[in-house]
Amino acid sequence: MTHPDYNLASSAGLGVEFCGQTPYPLSQSILEFAVQTTLETRCHDLLTHLGRLPSGAVVTVTPLSGGVASDIAIVQVNDDKYCVKFALPKLRVKADWFAPVERNLAEYRWLECVAAIAPQSSVTLLGHSGEAHGFAMEFLDGANTYLFKTALLNGEGKAEEAAAIGTLLGQIHAASTAPDFDTSPFRNHDDFYAIRIEPYLIHTSHAHEDLRSRLLAMADELHQSSAVLIHGDVSPKNIMFRDGRPYILDAECATMGDPSFDLGFCMNHFILKAVHVASCRSRYLSLCRDFWQAYTPHVTWEDLDVLEQRLCRLLPMLMLARVDGKSPVEYFNTEDQALVRGLAIPLIETPPSNLDELLFRLTSTL
């Protein structure tokens, strides 16, 4: 549901931001007792401190499954429905994968930036708590609301959806290159290394010694870049559509970084879905081109050919990482995994010079 806009303010001495109302006093650190308390209690405490829990309210907390990096819940307070999110210090994957919980604030700041840059594709934010490493926002729902990942897996992904995402991402990247853009909340290179570079490129390099030098070189290149504000997890599982407009969520990896990472991360999912949904292979590979063509008019901060070449080096590495990295694609069987390795490794060894060549080589093999 859509909630009215509120002005964010800071609660002096409490480390809590609130929207429109004075928060209740904190009697103890939420973070200190996060392990012992239930998700329901944490949601109750957070919404109380954000001034969103009236006395005597009827509250229902419904945990959302599927997330590996955060505890997420739908919280119904009387007739209002909120989404509440808390960062986890250890991600829910098979391999040991730890990440700083402060990334929750970077995500909130990224969502604030989107609200300023592209308000038509922004969620209503309701407040953040630095102590709880959590925040609340509107819950996106309604008859014309759906998860992009579900649409793709059902064979329903459309060119206009990919183009809309490309346009939105281009707007965000371009706006972050303005001289007056405040980069201070997004100097998160070490967090990005821990959450993205190490589990994807470094971890994958251990399984492919012959590709190790290429993967490590790309890892270093990504770690050093501060060109634009990147989301870091532009995956269909993090993209909702409502009334035809994309909403990119889950920006825990947000940092100043290399735009090719956001581009490659999203296109990689189009390719992985093309492998998995065989009946849609040609159409889903074409989504990469639709996405790219919508994005490129916004590129002013570097030569487009240079960005495209870097993208074409990174993209097959991300393909391989979703098979042999710390976060393998959950819907692949062993045949899918082998097919992706067979596609990705030659592209890493001999990178294509442009996206058209990359897609041609993929199409020829598939």
pLDDT tens digits, one per residue of 164-186: 999 999 999 999 999 999 999 99
170 and 317, same structural domain? Answer: yes
User: In the chain, how many domains are there?
Assistant: 2
Q: What is the pLDDT of residue 131?
A: 78
DSSP string over 161-195:
HHHHHHHHHHHHHHHTTSTT---GGG--HHHHIII
53 and 21, same structural domain? Answer: yes
141 pLDDT above the threshold of 50? yes
311 pLDDT above the threshold of 90? yes
95 pLDDT above the threshold of 70? no
pLDDT in tens, 55-69: 888 888 888 765 656
Q: Does some domain include residue 351?
A: yes
217 pLDDT above the threshold of 50? yes
15 pLDDT above the threshold of 90? no
Q: Which of 107, 138, 169 is the last residue of a domain?
A: 138
Q: What is the pLDDT of residue 299?
A: 98
100 and 53, same structural domain? Answer: yes
Q: What is the pLDDT of residue 241?
A: 98
180 and 71, same structural domain? Answer: no
- Residue 56 sits in a domain whose CATH number is 3.30.200.20
Least confident segment among 30-34, 73-77, 357-361 = 30-34
- The model's pTM is 0.84
The whole-chain average pLDDT of the chain stands at: 86
Q: Which domain holds residue 37?
A: 8-138
Q: Which of 113, 138, 163 is the last residue of a domain?
A: 138
Kindly indicate the confidence band of residue 22, based on its pLDDT and cuts at 50, 70 and 90: very low
Q: Which of 74, 109, 138 is the last residue of a domain?
A: 138
β-pair type (59-63, 80-87): unpaired
Residue 217: in which H helix or E strand, if any? helix 212-224
Q: Does some domain include residue 2?
A: no
